[in-house]
Amino acid sequence: MNYNNVTLAAGVWTNLNTLGGITTGNAMFVKNLGIVRVRIMQSATQPTGVVGDVLTSLSLPYAHKDIAAGGDDVWVMATHACEIVYAEVV
């Protein structure tokens, strides 16, 4: 896998497919490297508000999510600036 590191700005939805050049619908791996809450969801358009699953490592050394193939773009938003790692799974 070719891992991409990115620092998320607080309160800004970021499209990981666009950022990493990953084709919509391809499987993906996303890992939160900190303890900050990161919202993650699949959507054809930019989400609005506080929606999606929470990806946090408050009780674990790290938190990750496997995104299955066949869905919409993967969007993430952090409550505070934080770093994540993501990759296309082939």
Mean pLDDT, range 71-79, rounded to an integer: 97
Distance between CA 73 and CA 28 in Å, rounded? 10
Mean pLDDT, range 50-58, rounded to an integer: 87
Collapsing DSSP to helix, strand or coil, 28 comes out as strand
Report pLDDT for 35: 84
**CA–CA distances in Å: residue 85 to residues 18, 48, 49:** 15, 23, 23
* Domain annotation for the chain: domains and CATH numbers: 4-88 (2.60.120)
Please give the model's pTM, rounded to 2 decimal places: 0.92
Ramachandran assignment for 44, one of left (phi > 0), alpha (psi -120 to 50 degrees), beta (any other): alpha
88 — phi, psi (to 5°)?
-80, 135
Name residue, tokens 């919202």. Answer: 39
